[in-house]
Structure 1
């Protein structure tokens, strides 16, 4: 497959699925009624942040796939994608912040392992995952605070 076509596939799949999940599982009235910590960002911030992160995640997935499509790093990439995509339905649709905290901690752990594994073998991919790691760290703290407050 042409390298730019495969990049396009990764971008459309990751950003597209992420957007679909965001539209299908909006925060809604349940989330609006929850007590939130003082550091909770405004709702409008989440869509642009996640769009940028999903673009980076797609590029990293594509780079990893081109290097070793069946390797451990690609499996880690798919694992973090699965955890990422399941968090919103669990938190927002199922109204289960306790289950969501388990998912997001596993997600953060998987992202961290991916970064550690690729730091020497694929440094640009590791560096592109650092903003994702930072945002998911913040989201983990936010999830935990919402769980504690409610």
Structure 2
């Protein structure tokens, strides 16, 4: 279970990265909002976030709580929604659609973090950096959307 907990989010992220490979040069060519990071930051940040997600899901899975299955269902749902966002943004270039999809993801992660927190406080806190990054990503997504119409 430990291996599954960590490899699942990393595999989801890795597959999304593979499917959007080569799009970072297109991204770099876009007008960027202020505070946009260099492209090399993204894979580092996402790898850390996916590892934290895996750790949080493992804690919930091992908690023995009767609510762990519902919390993990939320987790898997947000992971699926997370997988689609880079395809919308990088692969298809639907910046407006990607922004609203990201808002959906942010809401799902917030609900997931709350569910995790009720089961295991540390698991809930492990998702806080992910929430913070998604807020930042929404800012970047909105900026790209408006600056590149």
Match of 1:49 among 45, 50, 61: 45
Work out which of the residue numbers 5, 11, 16 in structure 2 matches 1:16.
11
1:59 Cα deviation from its structure 2 partner: 1.5
* Partner SS for 1:38: coil
Q: Which runs of 5+ in 1 are unaligned?
A: 1-5
In structure 2, what is the Cα distance between the partners aligned to 1:87 and 1:25?
A: 11
Deviation, structure 1 residue 11: 1.4
Partner in structure 2 of residue 3 of structure 1:
none
Give the Cα–Cα distance (whole angstroms) in 1 for the partners of residues 68 and 20 of structure 2.
31
Whole-Å separation in 1 of the counterparts to 2:85 and 2:76: 14
In 2, the alpha carbon distance for the partners of 1:119 and 1:28 equals 35
| CA 36–86 in structure 1, closer or farther in 2 if over 3 Å, else same | same
| Equivalent-residue separation in structure 2 for 1:115 and 1:9 (angstroms) | 20
Mapped contact 2:60–2:116 kept (Cα < 8 A): no
TM-score by length of 1: 0.88
TM-score by length of 2: 0.88
Partners of 1:11 and 1:120 in 2: CA distance: 21
For the pair 1:38 / 2:38, whether they are aligned, the reply is no
Q: Note if 1:7 corresponds to 2:2.
A: yes
State the SS of the aligned residue for 1:54.
Answer: helix
- Post-superposition Cα deviations, 1:94-143, rounded to whole Å, max 9, x if no partner, equal 11111111111011111111222332331011010000000011001110
The equivalent of 2:146 in structure 1 is 148
* CA-based RMSD: 1.7
CA drift at 1:32: 2.5
Question: Per the alignment, in what secondary structure is the counterpart of residue 71 of structure 1?
Answer: helix
* CA deviation string 1:10-60 (max 9, x = no partner): 212221231221132033443222111121100011111111110011122
User: Equivalent residue for 2:90?
Assistant: 92
SS of equivalent residue, structure 2 residue 40: helix
